[in-house]
Amino acid sequence: MTLSKNFSIRTAVLFFTILFCFSSAAAQNDAGTDAVGDPRIGGPEQLKIAVFPVFNLSGSPAPLAAISRLLAEELTDADATFIAGEDLDRVIEKYRIRYLGGLDGSTAQSVRQETGADGVLITSLELYDETTPPKIALTARLVSTTDSMEILWIDGIGLAGDDAPGLLALGLVRDPRKLTGRAVQHLALSLTNFLSGEGRRIDSRAPREKFSPEILYHRAVLAADKTQTVAVVPFFNPSARSFAGEILALHFIRELWAHENFRVIEPGVVRQQLLKSRIIMDSGISLAQADLIAHYLHVDFILNGKVIDYQDYRGDRGTAKVNFSAELFDSVSREVVWSVKSYHAGDEGIFFFDWGRVNTAHALAADMVQLAVKMIE
């Protein structure tokens, strides 16, 4: 009896061992197939990524070095080799790279030559406020250093310490470092998932419909079976917030990139072209300027707009407000084919205990832009 029991346990253990070996082998095969199918993600050879220092669009002093360091630490689990710190500083100094908020052709080439990086991780700090409750907003994107300079991945996050205060304010975050850690962790996780092939094209949740655009003009612009190229030009910014034009352009880049029918030109390339062509926008882009951009960048559409308000608030009293308009120029017909106007406040439709309130302009704009871009179809 004991002998037969021992025998059956031994058989079961052997069976499970064989099964485990087979399933592991199958999983490895799957990973290998993914890597072959999409060379951008999780390949057999690890991607080399240069992590640019955090670029400050917040218009106020912020601990940029600490955020960069935190990001590098959080990315240790990612399926890639990261180049940062002194190795990268040397290249930045050698080639006198002054603009770290984007990647143009010559910068990409220098970084690739010197470090062998396949991509550059560009992180922009949109908001940093240490006043209780603290607030932070970050956008990061991974840009390939090849000639095409594709945007491979982009994500952003806006957090406030009182986003989820919970019962008796036990969930209130008062420490800005803790909040920064959460924001950086979110971006690092999103990038790690993307590199391992587990992440979706964009990790955005369903937007709140109450932030839909107010005014919309729309003509059928998208060919369903064709990928069309779009250049997003920094928005004209008469608002009181510094860099609001660049920030809103990043929101649009993120949402357009998520759209399967669009290929979005890296904003660093667009910026370089604007400088080369000596284009200075006076209350928006003119047709002649649009022609120049379309000619040099070979784009089907140019997205431009105006930011009237991009307002965050300090402390716990105030309301986040975003007010913008955007236009999509067709480079062939030289006409506006899509236009949108959207204005909202974070406390819209809030009645009880601030439940559902949006505390940062970043989170508000993300929903507004997502809903606006949805309407291009």
Partner 1 sequence: MMAKWAHRTHFIVCILSLILFFLVACASPYRASENYHDPDVDFALLRTIAVMPFSNLTNDKLAGERVRNTFMNSLLSTGALYVIPAGEVARGISRAGIDNPWTPSGEEVSKLAAIVGADSVITGVVNEYGEVRSGAVTSNVISVSMQMIEKESRKVIWSASTTKGGISVWDRLFGGGGEPMEDVTQAAVDDIIKKLFY
Binding status of residue 283 toward partner 1 by CB under 8 A = yes
Binding status of residue 328 toward partner 1 by CB under 8 A = no
Binding status of residue 341 toward partner 1 by CB under 8 A = yes
Q: Which residue's structure tokens are 């917040």? A: 58
Q: Which of 44, 83, 84, 78 is nearest to 64 (CA)?
A: 84
- Dihedral sign of CA atoms 213, 234, 241, 367 in order: positive
Instruction: Give the chain's largest Cα–Cα span.
Output: 93
Among positions 167-206, residues that touch partner 1 (CB under 8 A) are none
Smaller CB distance to partner 1: residue 33 or 286? 286
- Dihedral sign of CA atoms 329, 332, 334, 336 in order: negative
Q: Which of 339, 350, 356, 357 binds partner 1 (CB under 8 A)?
A: 339
Name the one range near partner 1 by CB under 8 A: 37-45, 108-116, 174-182, 337-345. Answer: 337-345
Q: Which of 236, 216, 154 is nearest to 372 (CA)?
A: 216
Binding status of residue 329 toward partner 1 by CB under 8 A = yes
Closest approach of Cβ 56 to partner 1, in Å?
Answer: 25
Q: Which of 284, 291, 296, 356 binds partner 1 (CB under 8 A)?
A: 284
Counting other chains too, the contacts that 212-217 makes at CB distance below 8 Å and 24 or more residues apart are 212/342, 212/371, 213/340, 213/341, 213/342, 213/368, 213/371, 213/372, 213/375, 214/341, 214/342, 214/343, 215/339, 215/340, 215/341, 215/342, 216/339, 216/340, 216/341, 216/375, 217/336, 217/338, 217/339, 217/340
Closest approach of Cβ 281 to partner 1, in Å?
Answer: 6
Are 279 and 236 contacting, i.e. CB atoms less than 8 angstroms apart? no
Binding status of residue 333 toward partner 1 by CB under 8 A = no
Binding status of residue 211 toward partner 1 by CB under 8 A = no
Distance of alpha carbon 106 from alpha carbon 6, whole angstroms: 70
Binding status of residue 350 toward partner 1 by CB under 8 A = no
Binding status of residue 340 toward partner 1 by CB under 8 A = yes
Smaller CB distance to partner 1: residue 88 or 322? 322
Binding status of residue 310 toward partner 1 by CB under 8 A = no
Site string for partner 1, 212-231 (x = CB under 8 A): --xxxx--------------
Size of the site for partner 1 (CB under 8 A): 30
The residues that touch partner 1, with contacts defined as CB under 8 A, are 214-217, 236, 238-239, 281-289, 304, 306, 308, 323, 325, 327, 329, 335-336, 339-341, 343, 345
